[in-house]
Structure 1
Amino acid sequence: MLSRLLPLSFCIVLSAYSLPKTNLSVTSEILQVAREDSGVLASDGFEDKQVAKFWHAEFRTPTAGLLTRDVHRAGKQAMRFAWKPSQYDGTNPTLHSELLTSPLPAGETERWYGYSSYMPSSSMENDSQTVIISQWHGFPDEGGAHTVPAMALSIEPDNKLQLVYRASNKPITTFLQHPTSQKVLDLGKARFDRWVDYVVHVNWDPIGNTGQLQLWQNGILLVNETGISIGYAEQHKPYWKCGLYCWTGKSTYVEKIIYYDEVRIGGPSASYDTVKPGLGDGTARMRE
């Protein structure tokens, strides 16, 4: 459960000190704001005094998660994620500054994700260390184990934007068990000091009969793969995490920062237009 939000100047702080661990539950996401298409399951424009109820927090410092007016894609606020190498104490939990959703209910495999992110060059560009900025993580069955994310979007050294997806048609029974397949996609150079819109459509299938992955960046389709093996042989398909996962525990910067805004999550009946960033009335436009 999310901890209490406290005001600080023009920001609102989501403290982590009452969250020693994150307990995920398998529930349908809460409907917050729907467009005309009923395929929207959940959304958050980060305009309130606290984040939407469908989120779970993974924050370890008072400044790891802020609702702020510093920059915003639409409306007046956005979500600011921050991570410092100084917070890393050798444990995996201190590598994260993220918000996460619940795993998909049993039997459901398809989701649409729309969001916009902003990376300041002053805290993200030309870092020598990899940072994951969006990931979809497996949810182990009873008696199962965690392994690497089923899908992740990352910034690699030399400012490379990279997407990797993995699959395993065998049960994950040991910690960090190797997936049976993996594919790495080069999406070009990362963009800084501007809002970048993303839409991700995925249909999880570790066998490869119905697996599908599509990714749009600023309205341009960069990934369009069908009949692929994607995800793990688990009852509940992956949950989404956005923010910063600095898994090397290092950074060129004293503090890394990324902003998120205009989050929408859609089910099988959703579409690109259902979840794409921008106000529901179409007045929000990209600013290059």
Structure 2
Amino acid sequence: MSVVASASAWSQIDPSVGGAVPQADFSKRYALYSAWSGNLTYATDPAGSGRTVLRSRVRSTDAKVGGLLRTDFLPLGEAGKTGPRWYGLSVYFPTTWVAHPNPAVVAQVGPAVPLAGLPPPMSIVARGTSIELNLGFNHRPLSGATDIATAANSAVKAVKLGTLQTGKWYCFAVRSEWSPTLGSGSLMIYQNRDKIFDAQRDINSYPGVSGNTPRVGLSFPGLLGVAERVLYTDFIRLGGPDTTLEKLLAETPCKTTSATTALVK
């Protein structure tokens, strides 16, 4: 089992939004969570753009990391960032993807060290033949004698985004101001330029969590349900107050690809 990380790192903040790095420098900018480092490889965009992307794999026989079957990664140096934040999270389901009711989390934004039993504030989930946006938060404290945050008393919302399509890039742009206090948080989420969620002056995080960190790849709250899962992702794109939606999406595979898609059955 391996967790690949590095203490010396930087995040892709304006004006350098692009998060692509050579393979030799991956561990300088990202931390990988996987049973085996070979589960994450560099690959050519399967949609045909010619750009370099990442291929994540999880086998049902893999050892768990952090209590989960997973191969996902997060940018180093992002935890603790405050104020307006932009995240570009892009995923591609290959045509070999088989529908199964067990959920697969393919992108999320939450505490760098996940809170045991609590849902991340925002995640993209493949479940059966659907792709979903899941949202979670809690105003209660994370520790104390009574009335602490638990999975049972957390607010959770699941929004179906449509039927999952293979052979297609899903590019999500997220603009956030994280807050556990009513009246100060904001969260806007775009899918391939279409706004799919907008909440202003709302609770969207957990008390005591200083900022959140994006992840992409594969992680499973339960079992895979299949022998193996493979997912392609872009590098994570990060921005701050001066970033715009168009600037962020210009860095994603959705700018350059158009491929034949198929509905998962």
TM-score under structure 2 length normalisation = 0.81
Write the mapping of 1:248-267 to structure 2, written as runs, cut at 5 A: 248-252=222-226, 254-261=227-234, 263-267=236-240
**Which residue matches 1:152?**
123
The answer to whether the Cα contact below 8 Å between 2:192 and 2:254 also exists between their aligned partners in 1 is: no
Q: Could you say which structure has the greater relative contact order, defined with CA pairs below 8 angstroms and 6 or more residues apart?
A: 2
Q: Unmatched 5+ residue regions in structure 2? A: 260-265
Give the Cα separation in 1 of the matches to 2:209 and 2:239. Answer: 20
Q: Unmatched 5+ residue regions in structure 1? A: 1-16
Are positions 1:84 and 2:84 aligned together? no
Amino acid at match of 1:56: A
The answer to whether the Cα contact below 8 Å between 1:47 and 1:75 also exists between their aligned partners in 2 is: no
Give the Cα separation in 2 of the matches to 1:50 and 1:103. Answer: 15
- Percent identical residues: 16
Are positions 1:190 and 2:171 aligned together? no
Q: Which of 112, 121, 136 is the aligned partner of 1:166?
A: 136
Write the mapping of 1:76-155 to structure 2, written as runs, cut at 5 A: 76-88=51-63, 92-102=66-76, 104=78, 106=80, 108-122=82-96, 124-139=97-112, 147-155=118-126
The answer to whether the Cα contact below 8 Å between 2:11 and 2:77 also exists between their aligned partners in 1 is: no
Kindly tell me: are residues 94 and 204 of structure 1, through their superposed partners in 2, closer, same or farther at Cα, counting changes over 3 Å?
closer
Give the Cα separation in 2 of the matches to 1:82 and 1:200. Answer: 25
The answer to whether the Cα contact below 8 Å between 1:263 and 1:277 also exists between their aligned partners in 2 is: no
Aligned partner of residue 166 in structure 2, secondary structure: coil
After TM superposition, give the deviation of residue 228 of structure 1 in Å: 2.1
Q: Which of 195, 214, 222 is the aligned partner of 1:240?
A: 214
Give the Cα separation in 2 of the matches to 1:77 and 1:117. Answer: 13
Kindly tell me: are residues 54 and 262 of structure 1, through their superposed partners in 2, closer, same or farther at Cα, counting changes over 3 Å?
closer
The answer to whether the Cα contact below 8 Å between 1:57 and 1:100 also exists between their aligned partners in 2 is: yes
Aligned partner of residue 81 in structure 1, secondary structure: strand
**Which residue matches 1:226?**
200
The number of aligned residues is 255
CA RMSD of aligned residues (A): 3.3
Aligned partner of residue 63 in structure 1, secondary structure: helix
